[in-house]
Structures are given as C-alpha cells and as structure tokens.
Structure 1
Amino acid sequence: MAANDSDEPVTPAGRLFLQPKTNQVIHCIVGLKNPIDAEAIKPIIRDSLMLQHPRFTSLMVRDHRGFEHWRRTEVDINRHVKVIDSPVSTTAAAGDDESAVNEYLAELCIENLSADKPLWEIHVLVAHKCLIIRIHHALGDGISLMSMFLANCRKVDDPEAMPTIVSFDRKKSSRWNWRKLLGFVVTLWFCVIFSIEFVLRCLWIRDRRTVLSGGAGVEDWPRTMATAKFRLEDMKVVKKAVANATINDVLFAIISSGLSRYLDFRESNGLKNGVQITGIAMANLRPQQGLQDIKNMMRSNSGASWGNKFGMILLPVSYLGSNCPDPLEYVKRAKAMIDRKKQSLEAHFPYAVGDFVMSTLGAKVACLLNYRILCNTTFTISNVVGPQEEIMLAGNPVTFLRANNSALPHALTLNMVSYAGRADMQIQVAKDIVPDPKFLAKCFEDALLEMKDHTLAKS
C-alpha cells in the first residue's frame, strides 16, 4: 500500500508494539456505581476529547516497504462500542462481579484488536456495571491513556471540575559542589553496571526456573486473573516505619514478600534463601512525573508529549522465606535497591538502545531483543497513580479503576492503579503455570497486613 502525503509515521516505540511477538493492548477497567445507560454511551464517546486526538481516528497502514503509518479515517462508533447486556461468566457465582469481569478480561488478554479500524474499542458490561476500554499500546502508554481518561471525567464533589492531575517536578540545581560531583560519579558508575546487566539479560543470563517462570510461546497460553486490594493508608503506615521510604518501595516490598510466601507454598523442593528472580518495571521518562495535562500532551512541542515515553528497569527479588523475622526487612531491601536505580539512568538506557536499534536495524531486531529480555526474566510490574478524589464518568460515580495488558511471555504480570484511597493490583497469570492467582493475591494482601501489624506493634 502506498503511503499518502498526509500519513504520519508511527513512532519507533509504537512500531515495536505492533510486532507479532510484542503486540500489546492496554485494558482500562472502570467500575461504575449506578446502572449503565448503554444508549447514552455512544454519543458521549463521539463528543469526547478522545476522538479529537488523531491517534484515535486513524488506521494503522503499512506501505510497500512494510513501514507503519497512521492514516486519518472516519470513525464508526458502532464498530468500536460493544454492549453486552447479559452476565459475561457462566462459572462465577451470582453477584460476584469481580470474578466475572476478571474471567472476561483473561479472554481478552490473548485477543488482538482488528486492524481494519482505529486501534481501540470499549466493552460495556451492563450486568456488571463495568466498562473495559481496550487501547493498543502503539497509541500511547499508561500515563498518556490515564491522562486521556481523566480528561473526560469530573469530580464527584464538584461536577464542573476535572480530576486533580498530580505531577511532580524534578528539581534541578545548576550549582556545582562536591556533593553534586560525587553524585555524578556514583550515577556514572551505576549507569555502567546496570547497562552491562541489561545487555547480558538480552544475550544469555536468565532467572533460575521456578514455579513462576514463563518463556518463549507462553504469551499464547490461556490466562486467568485475580485482584489484590490494598488500602493506601496501610501502605503509608509501613512507609513511615522506614526512613525516607516511598510508596513504590512499599509496593515492591509487598511483591517481594508475597512472592516469597507463594514460592514457599508451591516449591516442593524448597528454595535457598537469597535465590533471586527478576521483574521488569516500566518507568515514565517525561520531564514531569505523574499524570499530565492532556491538552498539553497533545501539543507536538510539549515536553510532556503523548505516546510511549517509558523505559525498563530490572528489579531483582530475593527469596527470604516465610520465616523472615522482620517483615520490614523487605521494605529496607526494596528501598536500598530502588535508590540505586534512581541514581542511575537505567530506564533511559533501554529506551535509547531500543530507539537506535529500531532506526538502524529495524523493528524485527528490536522486537527480538525485547522478547529475549522478557523470556529471561520472571514477571512484569507497572504502577499508575490515579486520582485521589472520587470521580465520575458521564455523571456516574466511578467505584474502581484497574488496568492490565495483553499476555506476555511472562507467566505473571502485575498492574497496579491507585484511586480514592485504595490500590488495586490486577494479577494476570498463565493458568497452566500459576493455577491459583487468588491465593497469590492473598499472599500479597497478607504481606502488607503483616508489615502494618509489625509496624504498629513496634510503635
């Protein structure tokens, strides 16, 4: 197909997500308080800010050389909105909306979007008062898409106001002193170490096999899903127990402790303390951290640009066993490790390498390297901070926000979204490898409660 002059080339990161081995769709799950008026959904979508963005009104086409482009087209809302009136599960108990929606999501995780229309769709689960927004990763990352979604919402306590968009400016000082020089040397050292580690992961180093290990081809295996639920107040209690800790430190400590609990239960031969498995985390690379002003993002000259602006970070988890005498040890280890990652430019290195490989060697080579590092690690984790006040969509209060993505060669994928004082983690697993995701979810929940109880007992 010949490219038109008006066609816009797909970005290198977008091209990566269009390759067969790394074809990714993001799912945003929105729970609503009141029954859904299915007939009112389509005109609301038609008039939304989403359809003012060219990515959501463009087809992905390939020219005669195989290069991907965006081509503007007319959007037929009826092809993008799928209304399902009846319950979506025959196995979930009556009234168990969470299990029913998770079962439906698990099926979507191995289902691609049709390329004969713009790469998004919305599933309206009327019986479960839930929306599932499916958007191809080539259109944007989690920060872009969450910012887009919130631009179409309003505060419950102020129906005319948009949700608060949280952003954190990185403070930079132009004044040099010995501390800054020392920090530069440390950063340079960590950059070298973590870059070498990343390259070795791409080439041959891989995690020891455990009951959580995936591998090549696992992205096509059937999926199942569960939800772990946390109170942000509990996480803040634990955070205060370790000096200068952050919520992200606590989150990774929960994952480390929860996985240790689960491995204790599943590994029949036992594991030695200190055995390491590795996760891949996605780090936002925009100048402003947090959610963005969507109108600012849509401007081409904006520093907080729309699209995929994230890098990978390798996060090692050390198995400590369930008999660890101090649950806060997980927080201390997580903080020490993440602090080193923050001092480096580790997240920028994979992004720069990927961009270079895409530009010089092509999408197939970049896809192969990305796929290898996924096969050589054990799990994926992402964390998107949502609004802390209650919001509503089209006048209907939102009860929860969750997210997950298409299947990866990992057998375990963790996606967390916080909203209105709580944080929900979607746990997606290859069900032939991890048959009990609800038990794994309880391992994570119990890990946080144990840390909180230990903290309160010491105070």
Structure 2
Amino acid sequence: MENGRISEKDHEPVSPAGRFFLRPEMDCMIYCIVAFEKPVSVPSIKAEFQRTFLHYYPRLKCLQERDAKGREIWRPSPTFNIDDHVIVVGDEEDGGGGEIVVEDYVASFAVSSPLGREKPLWEIHVIPSQRTVLFRLHHSLSDGTALMSLFLASCERADDPSRPITLPGGLRRDEGKPSVLKLLWMLLKVVFFTVLFVLDFLLHASWVKDEPNPISGGAGVELWPRKLCSVTFQMDDIKAVKNKMNATINDVMLGIITSGLAKYFKIMSPKDKRNKFRITGLSMVDIRRTPGIQDFFSKIKDGTAEWGNRFGYVILPLCFDRSISNSLEYVKQAKAILGQKKQSLEAKFTYHGGSLIMSFLGLKLASKLNYRVVCNTSFSFSNVVGPSEMIMFMKNPILFLRVTTTTLPHAFISHFISYNGKASMQLMVTKDIIHDPEILAKCFCDSLNEMKSSCDTQ
C-alpha cells in the first residue's frame, strides 16, 4: 500500500481512531446532505462517484474484516458493485415537506438500519422529491477533513469550471524570527497548557463529570431516538463579529454556542439560581502535519493525502455567568479558551495516547476510556470549512451542504459547515432530553443577532 491506496493483493489495518468507531458503543456514522438546483440523475451519480470518489480513495471499495490475529483490517471487496450502495427514496412526484423531510429521514438512522459488514461501509441515498443526495459513511473510513476534501476534489465551480474552488483562509503572517526569550516563553506555555489540559482530559476519562443540565446525555443515550434541526447564519454577520473582536471564525461560533446555551438554560431551568456554572464539550482537531481542508484538498490529486482518522479530542470548558448581558463577552471567553488550546498538545496527546493504550492494554479498555470521556461531557462541536462560492457536482449546482453524525452518547451534537456565504449549523439532539430543538435553534440565532447589534453600536 502506498499513500493510502490499497492494491488488490494488499490489505490495510484500520487506524486506532477507526477501531474506536467500530466498537458497538461508538458505532459512529457521518451524514452529508447535498441539495441540488436541478433534478438528480441516479446514473450520473453512479458514474461520477466511480470516476472520482472511488478513484481517489479505493478504501471505499474495501470490506472491514479481521485478520488471523483478530485485528480489524480493510480488504478489497472481490464482489464490489456500486448498485448495492445506491438507494432511491420515493420518486420525484412525492414532493412536499421541504427540508424537514430530509432531516427526519437522517435522524431516523440513529435507531435503525446499521451498515452491514458484508459490503463496504457507505451508502448513497437519493431523494428525488427534494433534489437531495445523502452520503452515509461509517466514521471508521475517514474523518471529516478527509471526506470533505474528497467531495470537493470531485466538484467544480459553478461560475467557471476552469477555475479552482476557493476555500476560506490563507497563509499565516510572517512575524519574523522570534528571540530566544520569546521561544523559551512559548515553550513554557506549551508545556504548562499541555500538562493542564491533559490532566483535565484524564480526569474526565476517570470520574470528573458535568453537573446535570438541560442537555445532559450519558451512557446509552446513543441508542435513543433523535431529531435533526438546522440553523443558517450569514457569513458576513459572523465575519463582522470576528473582525470587531479580532477573533477567528471558530471563536465566534463557539461564542454563539455558549451564548445560545446560556439562553436555553434560562428558559429550561428558570428555578436554577446558580450565578455561575460550568459544562464541558468535546471538539475534534485535525493533527495532520499540515492540517486543514485547503492543504488536504491540494494533495488528493497528487496522491500524497493522509487518509484515515487523524484527529485528537480537546475538551472545551464553557462557563456561564447570569450577570453577563452582552453576548460578545462569550466570544471573548471562547477566544481565550481556544487560544490556550492552540498552545497545547492536548489533541496530539489524546490521539497518540489512545493509540498507545490500545496497543499495550487492549482495545476494550481504550474504548471504555474514550466512551467515558464522551459520557462525562455535555456536547460535541465541529466546524468544517466549505467553498466560498457555489460549486457543482455532476454539472448540477449545489444549493447547500450540511453535515452531521450519529451515534454518540451526547444529547446535543453540533456541526457547522460554511458554503457560498452561509454557515449551516446542524443540531442533532436526543428527542427525550431536548424536546424542542427549535427553541434551542432560536437561541443561537438570537445570540448572533445580539452580537451583530452590539458590534454596530460600539
């Protein structure tokens, strides 16, 4: 095997993170919802998927099996047939229902229809009535950065297919060569924050747990019925807050989550008189040598992309203060938290530490610790960067992209994805815990509106 490509005579071991996702308690799926401008052609999808996806990433033609020593491996399927993976849901005349039809369909998979191991672990669901395609992939295949890059490598710009797809971000500013004292200070901060955050992570893997709150999940919640709800923000509004606060997009998004949850908690727990309290969430961080979709996207076609699940966890502490009246204060808090996280090696420790525990103490114990961290925190958060302009797949313009996952023991799972001037936030919630995700969604919308108004008046 070379550069992640599996030959017909070869097999590849499943990555440590991939093995976690194959465990029954962490049988995690990735869902990518793609809505098109024109009617969807099933034969075109099959042809394009074979021409691009399967060409760039042959693991999609592999079965997940066990070798003679009982270790999980990817082995090329001798009977691969793309027809076994494409499912047409209804027909174009069904109509009606709008986006909620797709959201309910995705949420229904949380408690039904697991992917069988007799074929490669992915499916394409075509919903003609909504001009929508749902890509359903097992998380053991790869992480969000790799899969989004793979999708973009199969697309082209709608305005000018000859031009490259534009992704937000750019080169970092060159601040010159730092002095010896500055280097020493930076090293001390890395050591300090790494020790501090790794200790916090280990405590959450042991006994430290969030206090009960309106979004608390826990062991077994991954099997409960789910509901999917979407919120759409204008990227211009997010960038206005970002520029005003001298922050990053991630800072603003985490600030929106913190402020929105503070509002939701006040509505759901009006008798809670605590002035201050704290919950924690989990975020997945790309640990590739040159992280990010922009770099991965550029490496796919030359065969040097690092496939698989290459991410580590970081714990995000959110502190709520009833005395805070300005939502921008939560952006400041998010900026401080994420700034410290960037100066630590927490994500790399959790990735490599999990691999070492798995190697020396076994998959069962490593998975138990991983599962306990998720159970002891309250939510998960991720942000995927998408194209700045409208793109096409199969020469069909894409109206929106949305991403979500199941199944984790969190009752609240949030995924952001930016595309064509908008940011979509997917809320995957447990129905028996968060009964009214529409109220939660409104709290997030109100938070950004308040932030934007505060920026305009300052």
Q: TM-score, normalised by structure 2?
A: 0.92
Amino acid at match of 1:46: Q
Partner of 1:30: 34
Partner of 1:192: 195
Amino acid at match of 2:125: H
Inter-partner Cα distance in structure 1 for 2:93 and 2:414: 23
Alignment partner of 1:46 out of 36, 44, 50: 50
Say whether the 8 Å CA contact 1:51–1:57 is kept in structure 2.
no
In structure 2, the CA distance between the partners of 1:65 and 1:159, relative to structure 1 (3 Å rule), is same
Deviation digits for residues 79-126 of structure 1, max 9, x if unmatched?
A: 10001134899xxxx744211111001012334211111111100011
| 2:214 counterpart of 1:217 | no
Deviation, structure 1 residue 165: 4.8
Partner of 1:144: 146
Deviation digits for residues 397-420 of structure 1, max 9, x if unmatched?
A: 101111011121110100111001
Inter-partner Cα distance in structure 2 for 1:233 and 1:175: 34
Inter-partner Cα distance in structure 2 for 1:435 and 1:51: 43
Partner of 2:248: 246
Deviation digits for residues 184-212 of structure 1, max 9, x if unmatched?
A: 11111111111111100100000000121
Say whether the 8 Å CA contact 2:91–2:128 is kept in structure 1.
yes
Partner of 2:401: 401
Alignment partner of 2:86 out of 74, 81, 86: 81
- SS of the residue corresponding to residue 144 of structure 1 reads helix
Q: How does 1:381-400 map to 2 (within 5 A)?
A: 381-400=381-400
Q: How does 1:257-268 map to 2 (within 5 A)?
A: 257-268=259-270
Deviation digits for residues 14-57 of structure 1, max 9, x if unmatched?
A: 11111111111111111111111233322222222334422111
Deviation, structure 1 residue 347: 1.2
Partner of 2:15: 11
- SS of the residue corresponding to residue 139 of structure 1 reads coil
Say whether the 8 Å CA contact 2:30–2:136 is kept in structure 1.
yes
Partner of 2:121: 119
Deviation digits for residues 212-256 of structure 1, max 9, x if unmatched?
A: 1010000000001100111110011111222x3111111011000
Partner of 2:451: 451
- SS of the residue corresponding to residue 272 of structure 2 reads coil
Partner of 1:59: 63
Q: How does 1:159-198 map to 2 (within 5 A)?
A: 159-165=161-167, 176-198=179-201
Partner of 2:310: 309
In structure 2, the CA distance between the partners of 1:344 and 1:184, relative to structure 1 (3 Å rule), is same
In structure 2, the CA distance between the partners of 1:168 and 1:19, relative to structure 1 (3 Å rule), is farther
Partner of 1:255: 257
Partner of 2:366: 366
Partner of 2:3: none
Inter-partner Cα distance in structure 1 for 2:163 and 2:389: 12
Say whether the 8 Å CA contact 2:214–2:265 is kept in structure 1.
yes
Partner of 1:203: 206
- SS of the residue corresponding to residue 347 of structure 1 reads helix
- SS of the residue corresponding to residue 321 of structure 2 reads coil
Amino acid at match of 1:103: D
Amino acid at match of 1:387: P
Inter-partner Cα distance in structure 1 for 2:273 and 2:417: 31
Partner of 2:229: 226
Say whether the 8 Å CA contact 1:166–1:290 is kept in structure 2.
no
Partner of 1:99: 100
Amino acid at match of 1:434: I
Inter-partner Cα distance in structure 1 for 2:392 and 2:109: 25
Partner of 1:328: 328
| 2:350 counterpart of 1:345 | no
Say whether the 8 Å CA contact 2:110–2:223 is kept in structure 1.
no
Partner of 1:132: 134
Deviation, structure 1 residue 294: 4.5
Inter-partner Cα distance in structure 2 for 1:167 and 1:29: 24
Q: Percent identity?
A: 41
Deviation digits for residues 132-183 of structure 1, max 9, x if unmatched?
A: 1011111110000000000110000112344235565667977652111111
- SS of the residue corresponding to residue 435 of structure 1 reads coil
Inter-partner Cα distance in structure 2 for 1:271 and 1:20: 39
Deviation digits for residues 322-379 of structure 1, max 9, x if unmatched?
A: x632221111111111111111111111111111112112221111011000010000
Deviation digits for residues 417-450 of structure 1, max 9, x if unmatched?
A: 1001100011001100001111111110110001
Say whether the 8 Å CA contact 2:153–2:300 is kept in structure 1.
no
Amino acid at match of 1:41: I
Deviation digits for residues 252-282 of structure 1, max 9, x if unmatched?
A: 1100000011111111422412211111011
Amino acid at match of 2:29: V
Say whether the 8 Å CA contact 1:226–1:426 is kept in structure 2.
yes
Deviation, structure 1 residue 8: 1.8
Structure 1 spans left out of the alignment, 5+ residues: none
- SS of the residue corresponding to residue 351 of structure 1 reads helix
In structure 2, the CA distance between the partners of 1:271 and 1:224, relative to structure 1 (3 Å rule), is farther
Inter-partner Cα distance in structure 2 for 1:336 and 1:285: 21
Say whether the 8 Å CA contact 1:42–1:77 is kept in structure 2.
yes
Regions of 4+ moved over 6 Å = 170-174
Inter-partner Cα distance in structure 1 for 2:47 and 2:337: 48
Inter-partner Cα distance in structure 2 for 1:348 and 1:29: 30
- SS of the residue corresponding to residue 275 of structure 1 reads strand
Say whether the 8 Å CA contact 1:34–1:397 is kept in structure 2.
yes
Inter-partner Cα distance in structure 2 for 1:324 and 1:9: 50
Inter-partner Cα distance in structure 2 for 1:282 and 1:334: 16
In structure 2, the CA distance between the partners of 1:160 and 1:14, relative to structure 1 (3 Å rule), is same
- SS of the residue corresponding to residue 410 of structure 2 reads coil
In structure 2, the CA distance between the partners of 1:175 and 1:329, relative to structure 1 (3 Å rule), is closer
